[in-house]
């Protein structure tokens, strides 16, 4: 009997494993995620063409859709069909029409080349084993002068750990990410390490990096 119960729990648990990404937690997330500040730092405005890589059920994508308005467009990318199906439901019930849903690959977000003003990777970069390929594709997707925004939480208990130790703890320091962005030809324009605490947990301070694609970057494109 206990074994049967255990199997049932294992089957049910993934449905509730999204945490802050599930819609029922969005209102609570609004209390600790400084969305407006992040958008302002990223230069997102009405008419912007933006991408949300690792969109999950669409928390950030829906905020982005409202921010860019009817003249803008949001490319919502995830590698899981179930999350994207839920996102489509949210978009339909809210009558949101400026979001394009994309099933990406682990090494390729499948974004259009040279069309985006901003690409957002929020609490997802630490999951990317193929981050070098992702950064190359993001660079190609951005317009000259376009911006990549990476936000992560840095759990204090693994702050001195290796990159692998941090990512195993679902965390990552900007000391690892900054040189990776620079190696992908991004010019770091903003670095903020005091963006508040993830889930209001003092053990999980958030940081943000913004890297810009060179405004005259045609000569670089062939290198990527």
What domains does the chain contain, in order, with CATH numbers? 20-221 (3.40.50.150)
Confidence check: pLDDT of 26 > 70:
yes
Contact in structure between 121 and 151 (CB atoms under 8 Å): yes
Q: Which residues contact 35 (CB under 8 A, 6 or more apart)?
A: 60, 63
Beta strand extents in the chain (DSSP E only)? 49-53, 73-78, 99-103, 116-122, 142-153, 187-192, 206-212
pTM: 0.86
Per residue in 176-208, pLDDT (tens digit) is 999 999 999 999 999 999 999 999 999 999 999
Q: What are the pLDDT digits (tens) for 65-75?
A: 999 999 999 99
Higher pLDDT, 5 or 100: 100
| CA neighbor of 62 nearest in space, from 27, 109, 107, 32 | 27
Are the C-beta atoms of residues 199 and 159 closer than 8 Å to each other? no
Mean pLDDT of 100-128: 98
User: For residue 68, what is the enclosing H or E element?
Assistant: helix 59-68
């Amino acid at each position: 009997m206990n074994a049967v119960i255990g199997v049932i729990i294992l089957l049910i648990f993934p449905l509730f494993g999204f945490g802050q990404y599930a819609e029922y937690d969005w209102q609570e997330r609004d209390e600790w995620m400084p969305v407006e500040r992040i958008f302002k730092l990223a230069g997102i405005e009405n008419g912007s063409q933006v991408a949300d890589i690792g969109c999950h059920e669409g928390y950030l994508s829906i905020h982005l859709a409202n921010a860019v308005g009817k003249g803008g467009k949001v490319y919502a990318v995830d590698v899981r069909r179930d999350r994207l199906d839920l996102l489509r439901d949210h978009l339909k019930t809210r009558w949101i029409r400026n979001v394009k849903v994309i099933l990406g690959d682990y090494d390729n977000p499948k974004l259009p080349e040279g069309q985006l003003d901003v690409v957002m990777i929020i609490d997802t970069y630490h999951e990317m084993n193929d981050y070098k390929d992702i950064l190359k594709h993001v660079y190609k997707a951005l317009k000259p002068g376009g911006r990549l925004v990476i936000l992560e939480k840095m759990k204090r208990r693994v702050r001195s750990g290796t990159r692998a130790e941090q990512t195993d703890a679902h965390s990552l320091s900007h000391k690892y990410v900054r040189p990776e962005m620079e190696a992908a030809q991004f010019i770091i324009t903003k670095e903020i390490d005091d963006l508040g605490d993830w889930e209001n947990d003092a053990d999980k301070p958030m940081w943000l990096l913004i890297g810009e694609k060179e405004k005259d970057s045609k000569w670089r494109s062939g290198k990527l």
